[in-house]
A and B are shown apart, each in its own frame.
Chain A
């Protein structure tokens, strides 16, 4: 489904894999390759100290299932519910020879651990004059759609994107999830790896061998010349839906999935807007100081003379995530909302229809 035209060529066998399986593969193969890679978090295995089965959860979403039986509890570490200590331990271990992959079960829990992320891990390399490496990954689940309420559904990527020193990765398919996770583990800086909880079962062909996808290189799930749609994470699904509907009307959308929001592939977006002159950004985060307004700002500053119509953003409203299904559905950006914005942008400006 995804066009990987700009990805490094990976030969060999592929298999149909879900995002859950692709991340699990990446973790397993990196742990086999590099004994310094460890996984830690709450129930990353599950059942520690219990009388029942080991590996009872493998993470609450099953992403780390099977790692503990292969690598043991020394490398797949179930922790107490202590998020600040989990992140601090990962950062300290990363400075001292390990490559930890720490899990925040729900990324909403950065609240409990944020000092260890933004004041500590993110700043070490710069603050210590480049003498320190912090090769750690923080995995967390983001996003709504699970009726999980305000404290388990947030889309907080913009907060970590704001922090200098962090890299922020948001895969939208299994192929990208594997290649980006391998890169994240091998990267020498702290990487925030955000997994959308409604996407875990999305599947595509994924190479069996390990491969890296470099950070800061967008992919183009659909290519076109009439309007640019920038989407990340689960919003890519909606962008593809809209592009495919409009394609039947003879309108071609250039759908850009930045894949990493820090670093961000500015060039891909600016080059696309140079061709289309029209830009819609869809983002599940809150609108103020968010990724959508950030990208809109970049294009307004550096691509102003390419624009034929005002930039439009489609985001969640500026509220916490509501619980009731009707409210959550109304809260979340979707293909219908995106379609309205895209049609408005197509109709606006000097050469609008």
Chain B
């Protein structure tokens, strides 16, 4: 068996936690408990887990507006996340950030980012710090097929190559930049070919297959940790929800999402693989499912009961001076 039972159970638990967290976010949003607008990542769980499972709290990730899965995979507290998304004062960012700006520096989670392409230059900075200080830590940025077209991302890739930074660029290609197709917005036929053009190893993997994604990222992470510089991994995947919760998704083909949920579910694919290989038993995963449902329920109940921020004390705190 190429993977330990402990590892496989951990992978399954994290992927499933993300799925249930996201599905519950949709429900709570629709129930009026989540302010603002929220972008969920259900369907893309395998990539988040494959990218983060070997990282320590000292390794840094930079995320996107679709960042809940990255947070959970990096070890952020699910209860603290739910509170943050509901705008409570005991949330990860005291209710000041919200879904699109969730961060947990202690866990090496540099932040979700509501500016498309805002993250990779910052992650270069984390990688530069690791390289300069000789910590052997790595930095990893999550990107999409949308942010792939931002100049900031091009600049970050080039500089990472020039400075040989320990930066892994992960591109979650879910086929849509908001409501525009990747095959329209990405001018070259292949994001991976374009990434390779920057002068770094670049690979395209099936992001629905945890194992394929994990093996590619493992090599990339080891390369970065050992001074080999950046790598770009494009992982093909499917977005189960809209660009934002409530997006009518008129741009998608009829039954596309329904079919994807049925046939392109990375968690189902993982389960089938580990069962057919005889690596895990269904009962063990079903038991985890129950625990996760309880954990998410507790997170929601706690978040709904959590205190709201107090404008008298919280509005003007965490800012360098007041006017």
Identify the A interface with B (CB < 8 A).
42-43, 46-53, 56-57, 60, 78, 80-85, 108-109, 111-112, 146-152, 287-288, 317-320, 322-327, 329-331
B88: which A residues are within 8 A, CB to CB? 324
B223 CB → nearest A CB, Å = 29
A118 CB → nearest B CB, Å = 16
B152: which A residues are within 8 A, CB to CB? 112
Q: Which single residue of chain A is at the shortest CB-CB distance from B184?
A: A49
B311: which A residues are within 8 A, CB to CB? 326-327, 329-330
* In contact, B96 and A324 (Cβ under 8 angstroms): yes
A80: which B residues are within 8 A, CB to CB? 146, 149, 177, 180, 185-187
* In contact, A324 and B308 (Cβ under 8 angstroms): yes
**Contact check: which of B114, B150, B251 meets A149 at CB < 8 Å?**
B114
B100: which A residues are within 8 A, CB to CB? 148-149, 151-152
Could you name 8 residue pairs across A and B whose Cβ atoms are closer than 8 Å?
Answer: A47-B180, A47-B250, A80-B177, A84-B151, A85-B151, A149-B97, A327-B95, A329-B311
Given A80-B177, A323-B87, A324-B95, the answer on whether A49 and B183 have CB atoms closer than 8 Å is yes
Complex CA–CA separation, A47 to B176 (angstroms): 9
A52: which B residues are within 8 A, CB to CB? 249-254, 256
Complex CA–CA separation, A319 to B194 (angstroms): 40
Q: Which single residue of chain B is at the shortest CB-CB distance from A55?
A: B250
* In contact, B149 and A109 (Cβ under 8 angstroms): no
Given A50-B252, A52-B249, A85-B151, the answer on whether A151 and B115 have CB atoms closer than 8 Å is yes
* In contact, A331 and B315 (Cβ under 8 angstroms): yes
B201: which A residues are within 8 A, CB to CB? none
Q: Which single residue of chain B is at the shortest CB-CB distance from A321?
A: B96
Complex CA–CA separation, A72 to B319 (angstroms): 48
* In contact, B176 and A319 (Cβ under 8 angstroms): no
B113: which A residues are within 8 A, CB to CB? 151
Q: Which single residue of chain B is at the shortest CB-CB distance from A153?
A: B36
Complex CA–CA separation, A146 to B177 (angstroms): 22
B178 at the interface (CB under 8 A from A): yes
Looking at chain B, what size class is its interface with the partner chain?
35 or more
A53: which B residues are within 8 A, CB to CB? 250-251
Q: Which single residue of chain A is at the shortest CB-CB distance from B87?
A: A324
* In contact, A82 and B150 (Cβ under 8 angstroms): yes
* In contact, A327 and B315 (Cβ under 8 angstroms): yes
B57 CB → nearest A CB, Å = 25
Q: Which residues 258-303 of B have a CB within 8 angstroms of A?
A: none
* In contact, B180 and A327 (Cβ under 8 angstroms): no
B116 at the interface (CB under 8 A from A): yes
* In contact, A146 and B322 (Cβ under 8 angstroms): no
Q: Which of A111, A318, A326 has most B Cβ within 10 Å? A: A326
B98: which A residues are within 8 A, CB to CB? 147, 149, 323-324
Complex CA–CA separation, A60 to B146 (angstroms): 16
* In contact, B309 and A324 (Cβ under 8 angstroms): yes
B321 at the interface (CB under 8 A from A): yes
Number of A-B contacts (CB under 8 A): 178
* In contact, B179 and A325 (Cβ under 8 angstroms): no
Given A50-B180, A81-B116, A327-B311, the answer on whether A319 and B149 have CB atoms closer than 8 Å is no
Complex CA–CA separation, A115 to B118 (angstroms): 16
Given A51-B253, A324-B96, A330-B315, the answer on whether A82 and B151 have CB atoms closer than 8 Å is yes
B87: which A residues are within 8 A, CB to CB? 147, 323-327
Given A82-B151, A85-B151, A147-B87, the answer on whether A323 and B96 have CB atoms closer than 8 Å is yes
* In contact, B178 and A81 (Cβ under 8 angstroms): yes
A322: which B residues are within 8 A, CB to CB? 95-96, 309, 314-315
Q: Which of A60, A319, A329 has most B Cβ within 10 Å? A: A319
Q: Which single residue of chain B is at the shortest CB-CB distance from A50?
A: B251
Interface of chain B: mostly helix, strand, loop or mixed: loop
Given contact pairs A150-B96, A318-B323, A326-B310, a sample of 7 additional A-B residue pairs in the complex whose CB atoms are under 8 Å apart: A51-B251, A51-B252, A80-B146, A111-B115, A149-B97, A325-B87, A327-B95
Complex CA–CA separation, A181 to B248 (angstroms): 29
Identify the B interface with A (CB < 8 A).
35-37, 87-89, 93, 95-101, 113-118, 146-147, 149-152, 176-187, 248-254, 256, 308-311, 314-316, 319, 321-323
Interface of chain A: mostly helix, strand, loop or mixed: loop
A325: which B residues are within 8 A, CB to CB? 35, 87, 308
A270 CB → nearest B CB, Å = 26
Q: Which single residue of chain B is at the shortest CB-CB distance from A331?
A: B315
B187: which A residues are within 8 A, CB to CB? 80
**Contact check: which of A48, A84, A319 meets B185 at CB < 8 Å?**
A48
Q: Which of A78, A84, A109, A324 has most B Cβ within 10 Å? A: A324
A178 CB → nearest B CB, Å = 27
B117: which A residues are within 8 A, CB to CB? 81, 112
A148: which B residues are within 8 A, CB to CB? 36-37, 100, 114
* In contact, A57 and B308 (Cβ under 8 angstroms): no
A60 CB → nearest B CB, Å = 8
B99: which A residues are within 8 A, CB to CB? 149
Given A152-B114, A327-B311, the answer on whether A43 and B250 have CB atoms closer than 8 Å is no
Complex CA–CA separation, A71 to B89 (angstroms): 49
The 8 closest A-B pairs by CB, nearest first: A49-B184, A49-B181, A323-B98, A330-B311, A147-B36, A324-B87, A47-B251, A147-B35
B177: which A residues are within 8 A, CB to CB? 42, 80-81
* In contact, A151 and B150 (Cβ under 8 angstroms): no
B176: which A residues are within 8 A, CB to CB? 50
B322 CB → nearest A CB, Å = 6
